[in-house]
Structure 1
Amino acid sequence: MLNAVKRYSLQVRLLLATTFVLTLARAITLPYLVVYLAQNFDLDISAIGLIIGGALIVASLLSLYGGYLIDTLRSYTVIIASTLVFAVAFVGAVVSRELSLFFTSLVLINLALAVVDIAAKAGFCTLLGLEERAEVFSIKYTLSNVAYAVGPFLGVALIMLDDHLPFLVSALLGLAMCLSYRRWGERSAPARLDGSPQAGFFSVGGQLLKDRRLICFTLGGALSAVVFGQFTAYLSQYLVVTLDATQAAHYISYLVATNAITVIALQYVIGRRISSRHLMPWLMAGMVLFLAGLLGFSLAQSLLVWCLAMLVFTLGEIIVIPAEYMFIDRIAPEHLRGVYYGAQNLSNLGAALGPVMCGFALAHLVPVATFYLLIGSVLLAALFYYLGARH
């Protein structure tokens, strides 16, 4: 993978580095966010979930306009502004004494990260040929998983030194990438490829609503994200209900480690082989692996079976995420790549829905019904992917 990165131009490497560092900065605060909200704002667990999930939902909706800005303005300008907002928002989170200000800071952190992510995807499509994009999407996703594997450990170490250090270090990382992009980012790239005036945001939104392929793939992506977006949350919920707390914590630690090791080891190897000419077979293979993994979870009676099911489940994740990127790349008009990727980012709404749906199932149905609901979500996602490809 490192040899592949060395072959890329400075601009591609800079986009990869920017998304990696910002994701790392976000991951550093993850282990302490729940504790910080409980200690500083005296919130119960349901209110904390509402704050964290609500911030992600609001940021996902606003990222659609962020994608529009990427198509309208220079990517250089948008990335500089987003990384600066990212840094300032972490400072705002530290100094805020009002819950509304802290919530606004969380929204801005998630929004800035989403906009930079969209800019990176659009930039890869501009800077690289069609056949090279599967590889770079896989590298980007691998780096994101490395960041989420390393970040929480750094966050825990920083917390031991000072309660506010995770937020301040994350702010410094955002500022460092802002200055780095200001120094080495491509300033001469035009905002528009053809120089024609950009349509208004609502006009562009109307155009998106007419693209049935985009609608189907956005719905398919949201339903897929219900399954893999926050799988640790619903697996933790299930294990706490079916096992004692100590055993549940033991199981979930092994499952998270299995997922991280599998992604880091195999994402690049598998993802670079996904061909734009055979996206639907790849996507359907990913759906089948999700189904097999969920069935394995529903039948698992030992830690070994849980880990094997997680391995199969993660293989589906490895395939589906870059394949979704490539499909959006294939259908997006050149002048609307940003807003198309912004629409794809709405799949985060599905990620926010997953734990809520599973919590309802655990409260009102037999525990194993959780996995049957998730299997239904996978089947619906596969149907929407098929409809999108047919159009």
Structure 2
Amino acid sequence: MLAALKHYPGTVRLLLLATFILTLARALTLPYLVVYLADNFQLSIGHIGLLIGGALIVASLLSLYGGHLVDTLHNHTLISASTLLFTLAFAAAIASRSALMFFLCLVLINLTLAVVDIAAKAGFCALLPVERRAEVFAIKYTLSNVGYAVGPLLGVAMLELDDHLPFVASALIGLGMCLAYWRLGDRGLQASLAEQPSAGFVQVALGLAGDRRLVCFTLGGVLSAVVFGQFTAYLSQYLVVTTSPSEAARLVGYLVTTNAVTVIALQYLIGRRISRQRLMPWLLAGMALFIAGLLGFALAGSVLAWCLAMLVFTLGEIIVIPAEYMFIDLIAPEHLRGVYYGAQNLSNLGAALGPVMVGFALTQWWPGAIFYLLVMSVILAGVFYWLGTRKQ
């Protein structure tokens, strides 16, 4: 992977660095977020879940307009402004004295991170030939997982020094990235074609709703994100019900480590081989691995069995996410890549829905039923992916 990075233009490397740095800054606060909200705002666990999940949902919906901005503004302006807002949102979060203010800060953090992510993907498409995009998407996803693996560990270490230090560090990292991109970023880079006539957001949104392939693929993405978007949350819910909180925490730690190591070790090797010409076979393979992993969870009776099931499950994740990127790259018009990637970002709605759906199922049925419910979600996602890859 490092060898491949040397052959990319400097602008591509800077876009990869920006997404990695902001992901790392966001991940610093993840271990402490629930505790911080409980201690500072005296919120119940239920209200904390609604606040965190609601912020993700609102940011995901707003990111559709963020994609429109990617298509209409220069990347340099948009990424510089987004990283500055990312910094200010963390600073405001520290100063927040109400849960509502903190919620708005969290929305802004998630939204600006999504906009930079969309701008980077659209920038890759503008800068690289088709045959090199699968590789850069795989590198980007690998780096994001490195950020999410390392960030929480650094955040926990910072908490030993001061409760607010992770938020302060995130703000400073965001500010550093903002200044670096303002100084080094390509001021002429724009995702869409300059000669393409611009359209208003409402007109663009109506056009997206009329694209059958995009609608089907977005629905498939939402349903698959139910399964992999926040798997740690629903596995924790299941394990707390079937074992004990301490045992659940211990086992989830092993599973998170297994997931992170697998992604970091294999994402680039597998993701770079996904081709536009055989997207559906790749997606079907990913769906099959998800199903095998979920059935493994349902049957697991030991730590080793759980970790092996997570390994299989993670292989599905490694395939599906870059394949989704490639499909959007395949169907998006050149002048609308940003808003198409913004539509893909709506899959976060599925990530927010997963723990809610599983929590309801755990109160109504026997615990193992959740895995068969999630298998049904994978199958439905596969159906929508198949419909989306069919030509009109």
Q: Output the TM-score relative to the length of structure 2.
A: 0.99
Tell me the equivalent position of 2:285. 285
Tell me the equivalent position of 2:28. 28
One-letter amino acid of the counterpart of residue 388, structure 1? G
Measured in 2, the distance between the counterparts of 1:115 and 1:18 equals: 12
Measured in 1, the distance between the counterparts of 2:381 and 2:338 equals: 23
Measured in 2, the distance between the counterparts of 1:85 and 1:308 equals: 41
Tell me the equivalent position of 2:88. 88
Q: Shift in Å at residue 250 of structure 1?
A: 1.6
Does 2:250 correspond to 1:250? yes
Tell me the equivalent position of 2:239. 239
Q: Shift in Å at residue 190 of structure 1?
A: 4.5
Closer, same or farther: CA 325–158 of 1 in aligned 2, 3 Å? same
Measured in 1, the distance between the counterparts of 2:358 and 2:39 equals: 27
Does 2:175 correspond to 1:172? no
Tell me the equivalent position of 1:359. 359
Tell me the equivalent position of 1:327. 327
Instruction: Output one character per residue of 1:129-175: Cα deviation in whole Å (capped at 9) or x when no partner.
Output: 11111111010000011001100011111111111110111011111
What pairs up with 1:1-391 in 2 under 5 angstroms?
1-190=1-190, 192-391=192-391
Aligned residue pairs total: 391
Tell whether the 8 Å contact from 2:251 to 2:303 is kept in structure 1 after alignment.
yes
Q: Shift in Å at residue 189 of structure 1?
A: 2.7
Unaligned runs of at least 5 residues, structure 2: none
Measured in 2, the distance between the counterparts of 1:349 and 1:390 equals: 24
Tell whether the 8 Å contact from 2:191 to 2:335 is kept in structure 1 after alignment.
no
SS at match of 1:161: coil
Measured in 2, the distance between the counterparts of 1:351 and 1:172 equals: 28
Closer, same or farther: CA 129–252 of 1 in aligned 2, 3 Å? same
Q: Shift in Å at residue 287 of structure 1?
A: 0.2
One-letter amino acid of the counterpart of residue 336, structure 1? L
- Which stretches of structure 1, 4 residues or longer, exceed 3 Å deviation after superposition? none
SS at match of 2:195: coil
Tell whether the 8 Å contact from 2:227 to 2:377 is kept in structure 1 after alignment.
yes
Measured in 2, the distance between the counterparts of 1:249 and 1:72 equals: 46
Measured in 2, the distance between the counterparts of 1:215 and 1:85 equals: 30
Tell whether the 8 Å contact from 2:362 to 2:370 is kept in structure 1 after alignment.
yes
Farther-moved stretch of structure 1 (95-104 vs 54-63): 95-104
Closer, same or farther: CA 291–192 of 1 in aligned 2, 3 Å? closer
Measured in 2, the distance between the counterparts of 1:4 and 1:190 equals: 24
Instruction: Output one character per residue of 1:337-377: Cα deviation in whole Å (capped at 9) or x when no partner.
Output: 00000000000000000000000111111001100110000
Measured in 2, the distance between the counterparts of 1:184 and 1:197 equals: 29
Q: Output the TM-score relative to the length of structure 1.
A: 0.99
Instruction: Output one character per residue of 1:97-154: Cα deviation in whole Å (capped at 9) or x when no partner.
Output: 1211111100000000000000000000011111111111010000011001100011
SS at match of 1:94: helix
Identity %: 72
One-letter amino acid of the counterpart of residue 115, structure 2? V
Q: Shift in Å at residue 193 of structure 1?
A: 1.1
Q: Shift in Å at residue 195 of structure 1?
A: 2.2
Measured in 2, the distance between the counterparts of 1:252 and 1:190 equals: 42
Q: Kindly report the root-mean-square deviation, in angstroms, between the aligned alpha carbons of the 2 structures.
A: 0.8
